[in-house]
Amino acid sequence: MDQDAFFVSVEIRKNPRLTGKPVIIGGGGDRGVVASCSYEARKYGIHSAMPGRTAKLLCPQAIFLKGDMEEYSKASHEITEIIADKVPLFEKASIDEHYIDMTGMDRFFGCMKFASELRQTIIREMKLPISFGLSINKTVAKIATNESKPGGELQVTYPELRPFLDPLAIHKIPGIGHATYKKLSEMGVREILTLTQIPQQLMFKILGQHGLSLWQKANGIDLAPVVPYRERKSIGTQATFESDTMDMAKLKAIITGMVTGLTFQLRNQKKLTACITVTVRYTNFETVTQQERIPYTSLDSFLISKAHNLFEKVYSKRMLLRLVGVKLSHLVSGYEQIGLYNIAEEEYSLYQAMDKVRNNFGTEAVVKACIVTQPPRDEMGKIIKYNPRKKKVLIENTEEEEPEVKKRSKIRSFMSEKGVTGTKSYE
């Protein structure tokens, strides 16, 4: 079962006036990437992972929305709860996709009827469109789902397997990316039927083990079981810069902000992490990662120190960076183990107080000082104090202003648009 243009559907549910319009989630900036798009936008050739600049050229009248991952995650969780309440075994493959094993249910109820009623229940309770494909294994079911979209349902029985798969293009097979499709197309392999006629030894010679896997999928063979749904074991975030940079102070400040945001999530979810990973992507798109196993913790200072050390290891080339990311994995439920002979107790109490402020006043109510944009300085290196009276005169081009003007706090005066904190965006 797969939601139809999930992110867009959630936005349309919130704002019905978007119905029938080309809507794009993400891709707003010059370096932005399309996260999702409506079927009206797809008619112009727009698809997920496309650069936002290209999407604007293809469809200038498209409506670009920033998106709300918190709301999408909430809707996904509610759909998962509906499915978990009604099916014997399911696997959550992504935020909007579920595999369901209904083996044996045809004897008592009928798999197609059951799946159709489950789909209608989700549509009725969530007010979101969803499609499904029913077949003998996960690969064929996924292909059938994609063929039934939007808002459809399709069953492919074993006798219908070859007539269904053979005429389809090879890019319909899950796991065939752009490079593999190009390589097979140059060989004259463009339909699944042609792919099935290639000897397995030749597929292995061309694409290795991946070639054998594609050959099996083309023949409708997939022995992968439906893995029972488990709670996620990692959380992470990454930032793509508006302009490539190698400013070490800036990069470490961004990593610090990422870690503090992730540890805040950990403590709210009553989780601990035992592994931290740092990822960088150079200006030539080379991506390098480095990870380290650590004692279970959710303390900012320890994880920030580890993240900085890993960054120094992974950033081996003195090249401009276009992306940096941090991931915390091997998550378990629990609380910080406070030692007897260190300051962990005081430190943990501090984080609890900070978390309380963030929960009450927003995640950016308390931040690390290094994340805040530095104040402007004059030629002598002294900080230029914020003068709200002078700023207002410059903007309005007036000579006088009311004498009693409330001064903004110094911290807020430093937090300009060029230094957005947390995991939202960085210049």
Active-site residue (options: 71, 97, 160, 191): 97
Tokens of residue 79, six digits: 């759909």
Among the listed residues 57, 65, 55, 61, the one whose alpha carbon sits nearest the alpha carbon of residue 26: 65
Among the listed residues 403, 262, 248, 285, the one whose alpha carbon sits nearest the alpha carbon of residue 331: 262
Element spanning 332, H or E: strand 332-333
Angle between helices 178-186 and 200-207 (to 10 degrees): 130
Q: Is 231 part of the annotated catalytic residue set?
A: no
Cβ–Cβ under 8 Å, residues 9 and 137: no
Tokens of residue 89, six digits: 């075994």
**Residues β-bridged to residue 169:** 191
Provide CB contacts within 8 A for 261, sequence distance 6+: 237, 363, 422, 423
Among the listed residues 108, 160, 167, the one whose alpha carbon sits nearest the alpha carbon of residue 134: 160
CA dist., res. 360 & res. 229, Å (int): 32
What's the burial of 340, exposed, middle or buried (CB within 10 Å: 0-12/13-18/19+)? exposed
Q: Which residues are catalytic?
A: 97
